[in-house]
Chains A and B, each alone.
Chain A
Amino acid sequence: AQSVTQLDSQVPVFEEAPVELRCNYSSSVSVYLFWYVQYPNQGLQLLLKYLSGSTLVESINGFEAEFNKSQTSFHLRKPSVHISDTAEYFCATLRSGTYKYIFGTGTRLKVLA
Chain B
Amino acid sequence: SQTIHQWPATLVQPVGSPLSLECTVEGTSNPNLYWYRQAAGRGLQLLFYSVGIGQISSEVPQNLSASRPQDRQFILSSKKLLLSDSGFYLCASSRGKEEKLFFGSGTQLSVL
Residue ranges of A at the interface with B (Cβ–Cβ < 8 Å): 6, 9, 32, 34, 36, 41-46, 49, 51, 90, 94, 99-106
CB distance from A4 to the nearest CB of B (A): 9
Residue ranges of B at the interface with A (Cβ–Cβ < 8 Å): 4, 6, 32, 34, 36, 41-44, 46, 49, 51, 59, 90, 92, 94, 96-98, 100-101, 103-106, 108
Q: Per a CB cutoff under 8 Å, which of B49, B59, B97, B100 touches A49? A: B100
Q: Per a CB cutoff under 8 Å, which of B32, B100, B106 touches A46? A: B100
- Please determine whether B43 and A105 come into contact, CB atoms closer than 8 angstroms: yes
Q: Which residue on B lies nearest to A49, using beta carbons?
A: B100
- Please determine whether A103 and B43 come into contact, CB atoms closer than 8 angstroms: yes
> Which of A36, A43, A102: most chain B Cβ within 10 A?
A43
CB distance from B59 to the nearest CB of A (A): 7
- Please determine whether A32 and B98 come into contact, CB atoms closer than 8 angstroms: yes
Task: Provide the main secondary structure of the chain B interface.
Answer: strand
Q: How far is the CA of A46 from the CA of B34 in the complex (A)?
A: 16
Q: How far is the CA of A104 from the CA of B92 in the complex (A)?
A: 16
- Please determine whether B4 and A99 come into contact, CB atoms closer than 8 angstroms: no
Q: Per a CB cutoff under 8 Å, which of B43, B49, B103 touches A99? A: B49
Chain B residues with CB below 8 A from A32, complex form: 98
Q: Per a CB cutoff under 8 Å, which of A9, A43, A100, A102 touches B106? A: A43
Q: How far is the CA of A11 from the CA of B49 in the complex (A)?
A: 32
Chain A residues with CB below 8 A from B104, complex form: 43
Chain B residues with CB below 8 A from A9, complex form: 41
A sample of 20 inter-chain contacts (CB < 8 A) reads: A6-B43, A9-B41, A34-B100, A41-B106, A42-B106, A43-B104, A43-B106, A44-B92, A45-B103, A46-B100, A46-B101, A51-B98, A90-B43, A99-B94, A99-B97, A101-B34, A101-B94, A103-B44, A105-B41, A106-B44
Q: Per a CB cutoff under 8 Å, which of A6, A41, A44, A105 touches B101? A: A44
- Please determine whether B46 and A101 come into contact, CB atoms closer than 8 angstroms: yes
A43-B4, A102-B46 as given contacts; A94 in contact with B98, CB under 8 Å = yes
CB distance from A98 to the nearest CB of B (A): 8
Q: Which residue on A lies nearest to B104, using beta carbons?
A: A43
